[in-house]
Structure 1
């Protein structure tokens, strides 16, 4: 372990701007910069969106401006906002298909039985998650109704699915028996090993979007298994473009998907300083991402 660093003392907004100028950032309008840094923290804006814009000595490369950093931040915010509704569609669809299938095969309370799953330990952890989700949603009318008016007070699987986090939903699918996973994946026209991998990765991206995180120039720690055609084309799975390809295949019957792709193109045109390669996009990204019309 190297030498432990000491925390730097806090800087006023004026000192933050002076520091940026001293390391080579062009600040054309200091009053504008003050307003921005009063609304968006230095750490969130400067630290995150200066990646790849500095030399090894820690100075900004020539002609990098404060406005460029702001534009990257605004691009990321808009990019995140148009991705989230597509993930929402998948989340709702998967909840529905799993609950319908599982209830029909195992009964509405079949999720309580460890024999209906692969791993007993994971099932025990899942039940802990269930109790926590129910506790957090205890004031929801439908939760109160089942708790107070039904034998045992347990929620049926179709209601329980509505209080699952996407992460819990992904873990539920992962612990289903292979024939059951295959049946769900088949309804999407996808192999179950792919769907399992994709749901985990999409859940991770969903959390980034929900917590105002950065997708621009970010390496993803939960990576999806990509089809061979993509990996052979040099498309990596640790950037957001790889995840978008997964969304494309799950939503292949969605008539609005190509409108989403158009929105991405409009964003790229609006924010010309965006380096799309840092997100895994290839030159022919639009042709790869569009569904056949």
Structure 2
């Protein structure tokens, strides 16, 4: 993380933003259209998010664009948004399969008769991640009773509910008519991160079945856990509509050695140029996702933008720069995705 402090920006009107860009030698063919874009799109994302790809010298004190057009920013911005949507769609599909397996496999063991309907909020049906079969990193191994679904006296709209099930019944209409809504219904309301925290508390036999449903075996458990942690970070980026082309895994999230070797991941280099076990960029994250989902639609989107939507050598050069930022410079690498 940089210790550099940026100077607080001054507010600029849309007209002033246009003049600033023109003074930096950006070519604006249609100023009225540009004003609409600047009014509808976040300037920090639209301009700052891509300007280093277009500046003559990104480190210079005075910014000057290297014969690029305002439309080039729109081209990259719209590509990023479409890529975001495709990635989020794949993550949603993965999460749906994941939730379905978790609920099914838990109930398969513990939901023997109707009196067991609330078994999933029984802390005794789970294990303590600090000492169970998974050996998860210490920073995520919190005591089992601290998990959201075991909390009592949950507050909602100034009312207090005795447990997670009653809380869900009060908040979600589709659950309100059930005396004891089953796990496969309430699991739908759990966020991805909360879902993961529940998974690492599963008993070994249930965990084995879940990981098998997702296409891995128990010997690959650390790869699976690491993959989920990576997906949680990526999903947060996509769900909040941040620029996905700039995605990096957090610098405190260690990448599993098995993933690095099996998938050929490129991690951040240290000051001596030696690969570390930290920080992978978007291309490598997509390789991790390819273990579970087909990336054909992402590959097709990239091919379409590079070969069809890009209307000049200039824009294809920009795409190459963007590819490099995302982890691989050559279009040939991106075309391999989804195979």
State whether TM-score is above 0.5.
yes
CA-based RMSD of the aligned residues comes to: 3.1
Task: Name 2:276's counterpart in structure 1.
Answer: none
Q: Which has the higher helix share?
A: 1
> Structure 1 residues 5, 213: closer, same or farther in 2, change over 3 A?
closer
What corresponds to 2:127 in structure 1? 117
- Once the two structures are superposed, the pairs formed by residues 178-197 of structure 1 within 5 Å of their partners are 178-190=204-216, 191-197=220-226
Distance 1:136 1:264, change over 3 A: farther
Distance in 2 (CA, whole Å) between partners of 1:40 and 1:244 is 27
Written as runs of structure 1 = structure 2, the 5 A alignment for 1:113-152 is: 113-115=122-124, 116-119=126-129, 121-127=143-149, 135=167, 138-146=170-178, 149-150=179-180
Unaligned runs of 5+ in 1: none
- Tell me if the contact between 1:241 and 1:280 (Cα under 8 Å) persists in the aligned partners: yes
- Is contact 1:173-1:196 (8 Å) kept? no
Q: Corresponding residue for 1:43?
A: 44
Alpha carbons of structure 1 residues 68 and 227: separation in structure 2 relative to 1, 3 Å: same
Q: 2:305 matched to 1:267?
A: yes
For residues 213-228 of structure 1, the aligned pairs below 5 Å read: 213-221=242-250, 225=256, 226-228=259-261
Deviations 1:23-44 (A, max 9, x none): 3333333222211111112223
- With CA pairs under 8 Å and 6+ residues apart, which has the higher RCO, 1 or 2? 1
Partner of 2:60: 57
Q: Number of aligned pairs?
A: 280
Q: Aligned partners of 2:69 and 2:292: how far apart in 1?
A: 40
Give the TM-score, by structure 1 length.
Answer: 0.81
Structure 1 pair 224–92 and aligned structure 2 pair: CA distance change class (3 A): farther
C-alpha spacing 1:137/1:41, structure 2 compared with 1 (3 Å): farther
Question: Following the alignment from structure 1 to structure 2, what is the Cα–Cα distance between the partners of residues 5 and 208?
Answer: 23
1:165-209 residue CA offsets vs partner (Å, 9 max, x unmatched):
122112222333444333311223322212211122212222222
Distance in 2, matches of 1:290 and 1:174, equals 29
Q: Which 5+ residue runs of structure 2 have no aligned equivalent?
A: 112-116, 130-141, 157-163, 269-278, 311-315
Distance, in Å, in 2 between the alignment partners of 1:182 and 1:205 is: 25
Cα deviation, residue 128, structure 1 = 6.3
| CA displacement at 1:93 relative to structure 2 | 0.5
Runs of 4+ in structure 1 over 4 Å off: 1-6, 128-137
Q: Is the 8 A contact 2:234 2:247 kept in 1?
A: no
| Alignment equivalent of 1:201, drawn from 230, 234, 254 | 230
Equivalence for 1:258: 296
Q: Normalised by the size of structure 2, how large is the TM-score?
A: 0.71
